[in-house]
Amino acid sequence: MKRVMRVISAAFVVLFSVGADAQAPPPQTMTVFLQSQYATLKRNLIGAAEKMPAEHFSFRPTADVRSYAELFGHTIETQYFYCHAVKGGANPVDGKTLEKIVTDKAAVVQMVKDGFAYCDDVFAGMSDENLLAMITLGAPPNTRQSARGSRLTMVVVHGNEHYGNLVTYMRIKGIVPPSSAQ
């Protein structure tokens, strides 16, 4: 019994000494949080586009909802909208209705990758200070001010909202979504 107690005591000493030497993780600032959430969204959306077999890209559970491909088109078009608000310049998909024109698997996968490539530098260049910087949205006379961070947060929020829809479509087809396969 004494030997068992010594082994347990020694184990506690080792565990606590290892913990004491370990460095605390860096603080999770708003920038670190958003970059992490964006990376997860990127992995999940690209994975969802790649995992679904091509014959299911026209699938819709009921007639009144978007197809699998249309969900991606809507999500990525909106992602361009929010990132464009921060980047400025010309929006590469302005005037296009991606959910109606990008319907086959190969094109959807490429559209999703291109949408993230468009936003990658915005998320990489974030700082806690520039997330609070105000940007002007809209054209005169209907302009308004918004924090850069609110636009980038919407990329993550909106993208995850529709990733949830995609998960349901994948589950209906018996496919394990990327977020559950990890």
Q: What is the CATH number of the domain that holds 144?
A: 1.20.120.450
- 121 has which bridge partners? none
Comparison of pLDDT for 131 and 17, the residue scoring more: 131
Q: Average pLDDT, stretch 132-151?
A: 91
Instruction: Tell me the pTM.
Output: 0.84
> What range does the domain containing 54 cover?
27-181
Q: Is residue 15 part of a domain?
A: no
Q: CA 68, CA 61: separation in Å to the nearest integer?
A: 9
Residue 45 covered by a domain: yes
1 within domain boundaries: no
pLDDT, one tens digit per residue, over 7-32 is: 344 433 443 444 455 677 777 899 99
- Does any domain span residue 12? no
Bridge partners, 146 (sequence order): 135
Q: Quote the number of domains for the chain.
A: 1
Task: Let me know if residue 135 belongs to a domain.
Answer: yes
